[in-house]
A and B are shown apart, each in its own frame.
Chain A
């Protein structure tokens, strides 16, 4: 074998290794989900009373119906595929936000709050400025979302760098402050509420809309935001692995002592990392507002903060992994809606699957024990935080 071939096979091998645990984690979660569906299905329980065979066959048909509905809901036709991709869009942004933090050794548990603030700034620019051409207005609105989310996260980075205050607690606090702030601004009669009796912002100008891919069919909400998300993923990949700033971020994340030794300004890197992480969370809000809903409601978020953590973990904090994980979660969410409609299985099954996936990814020892895997990087352990202290 030539060295190049060797390199290629070793790369393939490491790729397979990297994918093995996540794939098994997802698979195991789906199996447990299936079991849950079976045991909570009255018809299955009735069938088992008749006999084992009847029970098993009924179980199978229930699962087939559920996961079948799930699959068509995610990929069944153009509408469902585009809907999956639409839901995927903010997931990519939010997942990238948390993944970038992880790369820098920071646990940004506050994507939710940054999403709210990004939503506020983006919608404000979206509705308050009139008469601009799209080529200026749309980028401006996106930029506003980035800055809103970025500053919100940057404050936490600053506090961490200057006082050592742990980012997990502070981002949680900032989440609630952001939610209250949005409530105040969007409350009926609030400074950013539209006239009338709904606690929502005014509609944004059409010049700030993210263009639709199928403008002729208004039910299809798939828009340019998805492309922006992919660009963001590529950009973050480039930033992390091809630039000096990315090198600094990763070095601080992996070994702050070595970073200090190397002359890297660790405080600065922490602040910058949090800022960029926040801009991505803000963009998730921009994608939802400028691409889909075109205004900002008071109760806005769909729990992106925690989903984003799951995405980053599942994607191993790598932008490509985050995109794949987001596609999976987008499909889960789109499929679950259909599954509820057809098979009457509550959409909350997605949260159960997500929780299980995180557990299996975070404790690969469980997966190894289930599948009797051996020799797979034993001592390897996910370690992101060092308690509340420093």
Chain B
């Protein structure tokens, strides 16, 4: 009990110091290069949606940066003296202060469209979110899934093929979900029935699906363009929500797949923590033998979860095709499955946390295109590296702790 108490105070102390470090970093990085005359302009208008224009926000760059430094420092001092209740929420806020200061600095003497930024962030985060959700579902039941990439790839391929053949986005979507589920079933059989090392099984799935999709792609899709010309989902502007200034046009004027992904985040969260299925899933992932002694079929729960998780990954593949580029390209997932895995860990195996992490990763992605336009002297590659670095830091337990389900990756054997 004593150990726990000291660990708690040490973590509280560490958090406070982290906030202060953020404040200091903001100062050191952005103040020296800024003169007191420079102005930053944030704009909020987008062409879509026919909304009444919102006035631009123009302010002294330095003032903005100082404000952010002050807010972060205040959080640090408060944490060290009084202590916050939800330190991770505050950590998120402090990071937002840092990012805002950075944006103000990057756009000094220029203007930046924040609304466009929000939209781009959301769109880049959707496939990562779906990949992460897939991982959450599998791993909460105790099966490590590093084959997400392969499941997405199968989904993407099938959605392009079936979508093209049927000229229907819906059939394409259904085909993608089924393909993801089928690929996951292969993982499930290997991991649960044959008790294959789950990382090896996932790797095999990645290699196999890469081969199969590329093979069929070059055999059919590339030689016959009609097979790789799927329709795409239309954007749907949600009534009322779509009219909200700033966030409306970027968040609520999207395709069905985007809405589905966001709904899935909260749905899976709710299923995991508020339903019988979720309770059993978590029990099986944490202590399968305990679940077994209470008459829960461990194998069945794991099969169901892995296959459902594969279906979600398949949906992620469909997003890439049916909601984005309208064609299948070989290796088009480009590592999104692995980034999703990182987001899952970063989000502590929690659907909403994983979504938050995916948004951060998506933000880094959209920011680098934005910065290239603004010609900011920071190589975009470093921004793209940041999510991976942060994941490693989280994993090492330097800031916060990420804890996998206790039985994650261990095959279950009956006595």
The A interface, classified by DSSP as helix, strand, loop or mixed, is helix
Q: Report Cα–Cα, A109/B149, bound state, in Å.
A: 15
Number of interface residues of A (CB under 8 A): 51
- B409-A362 in contact (CB<8A): no
Tally inter-chain residue pairs, CB-CB below 8 A: 163
B397 smallest CB distance to A (angstroms): 6
- B410-A313 in contact (CB<8A): no
Q: Report Cα–Cα, A388/B212, bound state, in Å.
A: 29
Choice from B200, B379, B388 contacting A362 with Cβ under 8 Å: B200
Interface centre among A36, A170, A346, A388 (most CB of B within 10 A): A388
Which residues from 321 to 352 on chain B have a C-beta closer than 8 Å to any C-beta of chain A?
A: 330, 335, 338-339, 341-342, 345
Question: Does A173 reach chain B (CB closer than 8 Å)?
Answer: yes
Q: Report Cα–Cα, A159/B395, bound state, in Å.
A: 9
Q: Which residues of B contact A107 (CB under 8 A)?
A: 199
Contacts A170-B392, A351-B210, A387-B410 given; indicate if A365 touches B200 (C-beta within 8 A).
Answer: no
Q: Report Cα–Cα, A366/B193, bound state, in Å.
A: 11
Q: Across the interface, name the chain B residue whose C-beta is closest to A357.
A: B204
Q: Which residues of A contact B14 (CB under 8 A)?
A: none
Q: Across the interface, name the chain B residue whose C-beta is closest to A346.
A: B218
Which residues from 394 to 413 on chain B have a C-beta closer than 8 Å to any C-beta of chain A?
A: 395-397, 404, 406-410
Bits for B212-225, please: 1 = Cβ < 8 Å to A, else 0: 10111011100000
Question: Does B190 reach chain A (CB closer than 8 Å)?
Answer: yes
Question: Does B59 reach chain A (CB closer than 8 Å)?
Answer: no
Which residues from 330 to 360 on chain A have a C-beta closer than 8 Å to any C-beta of chain B?
A: 346, 348-356, 358-359
Question: Does A40 reach chain B (CB closer than 8 Å)?
Answer: yes
Q: Which residues of A contact B205 (CB under 8 A)?
A: 355
Choice from B146, B212, B218, B391 contacting A173 with Cβ under 8 Å: B391
Question: Does A6 reach chain B (CB closer than 8 Å)?
Answer: no
Number of interface residues of B (CB under 8 A): 52
Question: Does A384 reach chain B (CB closer than 8 Å)?
Answer: yes
Q: Which residues of B contact A306 (CB under 8 A)?
A: 203, 206-207
A264 smallest CB distance to B (angstroms): 24
Which residues from 74 to 119 on chain A have a C-beta closer than 8 Å to any C-beta of chain B?
A: 107, 109
- A184-B197 in contact (CB<8A): no
Q: Report Cα–Cα, A353/B406, bound state, in Å.
A: 34
Please list the 10 inter-chain residue pairs (A to B) with the smallest Cβ-Cβ separation, ordered nearest first.
Answer: A355-B208, A387-B409, A351-B211, A352-B211, A348-B214, A184-B381, A358-B204, A355-B207, A363-B194, A346-B218
Interfacial residues, chain B to chain A (CB-CB below 8 A): 144, 146, 190, 194-201, 203-212, 214-216, 218-220, 330, 335, 338-339, 341-342, 345, 379, 381-382, 384-385, 388-389, 391-392, 395-397, 404, 406-410
**Can you list 16 A-B pairs, Cβ within 8 angstroms, ordered by A?**
A40-B216, A159-B395, A172-B338, A177-B389, A184-B381, A348-B215, A349-B211, A351-B214, A352-B208, A354-B208, A355-B211, A359-B204, A362-B204, A384-B197, A384-B200, A389-B408
